[in-house]
């Protein structure tokens, strides 16, 4: 099967590939600005059909109770994706602008392989817990706690790591027994739409269990939070949109999972290898052009070595040139769109107006007239009160901030509306661990540790969201708890 062979994708509703009522909309290669093709454009009626299909599949079939079927289907999906991995790789590079090197990890192969964790978890999960007999209020009673699927899940996903986020929602939601309506970002519709093709041709997933609704209209996705037939919304995206999702969902008191923005801090303690630590921070902020919510974009360094740290960061980042994501050596590809490039440039202009300066970068690369590229940029001379130091930029931009010791470094790191991730580098592991324990964040990297893994929970504190994705905690987000009390005669 050739994925999207005719340069167009369809909606996937109730087990069928269909056209969208609103026609089609283009999907664009962010590195070349060329139109790749078109995606089916759904309207409110299409979304209504998808929700209705998911509701019927949950209520009228045994999907939620047939663990064996669910495990088999999730494994079929993983196997089919692996069989088409090279086609998916080319698609991901073209539509997302993801550097080829990242498709072997978190942009593609990693999340595909991680579907095994969801299937294995469902297969071995203790769906019932026997609490034994007791006599509350003098009545002999046998007590059982049962975990069961939430119901219909509306999954709303962004464009920056589409496969990772789409599959991190679909895998556990399906394995846990839910039915799903997936609404992907309009910037990357094909990365979601291909799942419909693969599910239809290569899995036993029953009609209505998975529905994929692509649309250029963001209000179509908002219907998932408002509709009473949807039991849960799982949203990844900006904090601003997350607030709207939470507000819309409040009318029906549905369960809400939110993985939102970040402005994470990379703390370098005064005993750390400055060159090594700053080099890691500078390199990481360039990967995928900084388009990651958990990337540490505030580099917090000892004041006495501030200028040295800025120079090291600038030397590292000026050596990383924005390039063709198809090239195996490219680290920093394009931003997703002209709109996003202009947004990042707006923050760079703001940094200058607030008194900052660029140690490197600061705008579009001189040798890139085509494509949505921004140079890797180091901002110096700002403190943690400046807007570029407080607001999520989502580009290859690192702001260097001075600290006056461990307590001050922790204060700066926690002085944020967000709490998604953080990093601590220090020569004394006990001291570094102590600093890490004081950070109000959901994930912490100490001296280069990697927290991204299928069995590790991911999520944030404060306005970075609520709940966790991935790991056992992520699987259990898609479950309800039922207490059953049976009279013991």
- Find tokens 């403190």 and name the residue: 383
At 271, phi and psi to the nearest 5? -100, 5
The two tokens of residue 143 are 């007590």
- H-helix segments, 8-108: 44-60, 67-83, 85-96
The two tokens of residue 380 are 């110096």
The two tokens of residue 132 are 């034994």
CB atoms within 10 A of CB 307: 14
Q: Measure the CA–CA gap between 281 and 297, rounded to whole angstroms.
A: 8
Active-site residue flag, 34: no
Dihedral sign for Cα 354, 357, 361, 363, please: positive
Q: Measure the CA–CA gap between 113 and 331, rounded to whole angstroms.
A: 23
Q: Which of 197, 259, 375, 476 is catalytic?
A: 259
Q: Measure the CA–CA gap between 287 and 395, rounded to whole angstroms.
A: 10
Instruction: List all residues 6 or more positions away from 319 whose beta carbon is below 8 Å from its beta carbon.
Output: none
Q: Measure the CA–CA gap between 462 and 223, rounded to whole angstroms.
A: 25
- Find tokens 């799982």 and name the residue: 234
Confirm if 442 and 419 have CB atoms less than 8 A apart.
Answer: yes
Confirm if 317 and 377 have CB atoms less than 8 A apart.
Answer: yes
Confirm if 233 and 254 have CB atoms less than 8 A apart.
Answer: yes
* Positions marked catalytic: 259
């Amino acid at each position: 099967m050739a994925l999207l062979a005719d340069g167009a994708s369809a909606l996937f509703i109730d087990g069928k590939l269909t056209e969208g009522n609103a026609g089609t909309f283009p999907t664009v290669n962010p590195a070349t600005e060329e139109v790749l093709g078109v995606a089916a454009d759904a309207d409110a009626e299409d979304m209504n059909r998808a929700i209705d299909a998911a509701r019927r599949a949950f209520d009228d079939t045994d999907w939620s109770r047939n663990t064996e079927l669910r495990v088999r289907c999730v494994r079929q999906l993983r196997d089919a994706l692996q069989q088409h991995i090279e086609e998916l790789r080319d698609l991901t590079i073209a539509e997302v602008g993801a550097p080829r090197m990242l498709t072997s990890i978190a942009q593609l192969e990693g999340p595909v392989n991680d579907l095994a964790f969801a299937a294995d978890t469902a297969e071995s999960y203790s769906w019932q817990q026997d609490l034994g007999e007791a006599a509350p209020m003098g009545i002999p009673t046998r007590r059982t706690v049962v975990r069961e699927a939430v119901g219909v899940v509306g999954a709303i996903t962004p464009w920056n790591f589409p496969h990772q986020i789409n599959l991190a929602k679909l895998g556990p939601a399906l394995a846990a027994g839910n039915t799903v309506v997936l609404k992907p970002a309009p910037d990357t519709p094909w990365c979601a739409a291909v799942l419909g093709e693969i599910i239809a041709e290569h899995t036993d997933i029953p009609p209505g269990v998975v529905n994929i609704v692509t649309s250029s209209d963001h209000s179509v996705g908002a219907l998932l939070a408002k509709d009473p037939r949807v039991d849960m919304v799982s949203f990844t995206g900006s904090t601003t949109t997350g607030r709207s999702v939470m507000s819309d969902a409040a009318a029906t008191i549905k369960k809400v999972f939110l993985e939102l923005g970040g402005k994470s801090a990379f703390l370098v303690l005064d005993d750390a290898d400055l060159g090594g630590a700053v080099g890691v921070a500078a390199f990481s902020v360039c990967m995928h052009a900084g388009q990651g919510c958990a990337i540490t974009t505030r580099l917090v360094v000892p004041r006495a070595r501030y200028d040295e740290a800025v120079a090291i960061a600038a030397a590292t980042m000026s050596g990383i040139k924005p390039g063709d994501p198809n090239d195996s050596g490219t680290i920093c590809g394009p931003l997703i769109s002209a709109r996003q490039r202009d947004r990042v440039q707006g923050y760079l202009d703001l940094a200058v107006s607030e008194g900052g300066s660029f140690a490197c970068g600061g705008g579009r690369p001189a040798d890139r007239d085509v494509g949505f590229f921004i140079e890797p940029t180091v901002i110096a001379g700002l403190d943690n009160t400046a807007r570029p130091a407080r607001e999520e930029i989502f580009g290859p931009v690192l702001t260097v901030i001075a600290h006056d010791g461990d307590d001050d470094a922790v204060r700066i790191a926690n002085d944020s509306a967000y709490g998604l991730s953080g990093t601590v580098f220090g020569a004394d592991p006990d001291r570094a661990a102590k600093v890490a324990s004081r950070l109000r964040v959901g994930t912490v990297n100490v001296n280069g540790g990697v927290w991204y893994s299928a069995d590790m929970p991911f999520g944030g504190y404060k306005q970075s969201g609520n709940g966790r994705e991935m790991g056992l905690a992520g699987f259990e987000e898609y479950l309800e708890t039922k207490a059953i009390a049976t009279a013991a005669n």
